[in-house]
């Protein structure tokens, strides 16, 4: 039996459009198996849609081409974004076997044609094909995250890193890494204002 979890908010239709049924199925699967598989804590169930699914889905319009998601874990944001944007190709990079097994199961269960799961640490991923953009959420502070993610991005591509209210302070603390990895146009974007109950912040930067 699926444990009780947050009822679907009205904003879900706005964020996922004609992909809503797939997003709904993924959310139900995460509610059913997420705690047992150690992917989410029990406290997340009452805010599964608002804190996790919508918070990730709102990033979808920023993406294009071939996007890597570093440290996908339960599929946040990588799987959610792949659901929202079937026209974009996603590479989910996650070192933990239990988590890649979950990600592969969900790709099959949801019949997603635009997702590849790579079991590896970001630092060890083969770089023969560079990505147009890289996303990450809750993996590490920016000064550690930049060296992990920027080398995966093609020249002119972007980092789109989900961050909390401390995003600007993290940018200040990462000044050295921003210079070393030649990031430009580093900005904090606030997404979902007037739509979501909790806004989403991303640090977006262009890789030289
Ligand atoms: C706190 S979890 C966050 C998971 C998911 N992004 C989310 O927002 O719920 C951090 C994830 O990053 C992964 N991770 C840690 N170090 C990594 C690395 N060097 N390369 C890629 N993934 C890594 C972990 O295995 C874990 O799944």
Q: What is the pLDDT of residue 128?
A: 84
Q: What is the CATH number of the domain that holds 136?
A: 3.40.50.150
Instruction: Give the pLDDT band (50/70/90) at residue 16.
Output: very high
Q: What is the pLDDT of residue 42?
A: 87
Number of domains the chain contains: 1
1 pLDDT exceeds 80?
no
The annotation status of 119 as a binding-site residue, yes or no, is no
Tens digits of per-residue pLDDT, 154-181? 999 999 999 999 999 999 999 999 999 9
The annotation status of 78 as a binding-site residue, yes or no, is no
Instruction: Look at residue 1 and tell me if it is in a domain.
Output: no
Query: CA–CA separation, 150 vs 36, rounded Å?
Result: 33
Instruction: Look at residue 174 and tell me if it is in a domain.
Output: yes
79 pLDDT exceeds 80?
yes
Instruction: Give the pLDDT band (50/70/90) at residue 182.
Output: very high
- The pick from 30, 57, 73, 164 for probing ligand 1's pocket by mutation, whose C-beta has the most ligand atoms within 8 angstroms, reads 73
The annotation status of 71 as a binding-site residue, yes or no, is yes
Task: Tell me the pTM.
Answer: 0.98
Q: Which atom of ligand 1 is nearest to the CA of 122?
A: 20
Instruction: Look at residue 184 and tell me if it is in a domain.
Output: yes
Instruction: Look at residue 44 and tell me if it is in a domain.
Output: yes
Domain encompassing residue 18 = 11-207
Instruction: Look at residue 153 and tell me if it is in a domain.
Output: yes
ipTM attached to this prediction: 0.99
Give ligand 1 pocket residues (Cβ under 6 A).
70-74, 76, 93-96, 99, 121-123, 137-139, 148
State how beta strands 183-191 and 200-207 pair: antiparallel
Instruction: Look at residue 123 and tell me if it is in a domain.
Output: yes
Instruction: Look at residue 3 and tell me if it is in a domain.
Output: no
Instruction: Look at residue 121 and tell me if it is in a domain.
Output: yes
DSSP string, 67-88: EEEET-TTTTTHHHHHHH-TTS
Mean pLDDT (the chain, rounded): 97
């Amino acid at each position: 039996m699926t444990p009780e979890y947050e009822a679907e908010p009205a904003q879900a239709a706005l964020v996922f459009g004609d992909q809503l049924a797939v997003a709904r199925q993924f959310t139900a699967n995460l509610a059913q198996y997420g705690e047992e598989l150690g992917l989410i804590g029990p406290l997340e169930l009452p805010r599964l849609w608002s804190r996790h699914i919508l918070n990730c889905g709102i990033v979808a319009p920023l993406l294009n081409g071939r996007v890597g998601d570093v440290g996908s874990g339960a599929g946040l944001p990588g799987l959610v974004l792949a659901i929202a944007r079937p026209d974009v190709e996603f590479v989910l990079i996650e070192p933990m076997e239990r988590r890649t097994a979950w990600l592969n199961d969900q790709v099959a269960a949801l019949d997603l044609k635009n997702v590849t799961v790579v079991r590896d640490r970001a630092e060890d991923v083969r770089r023969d094909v560079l990505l147009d953009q890289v996303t990450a959420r809750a993996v590490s502070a920016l000064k550690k995250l930049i060296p992990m993610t920027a080398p995966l991005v093609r020249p002119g591509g972007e980092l789109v890193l989900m961050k909390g209210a401390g995003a600007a302070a993290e940018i200040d603390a990462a000044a050295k890494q921003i210079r070393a990895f030649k990031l430009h146009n580093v900005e904090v974007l606030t997404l979902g204002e007037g739509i979501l109950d909790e806004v989403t912040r991303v640090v977006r930067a262009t890789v030289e």
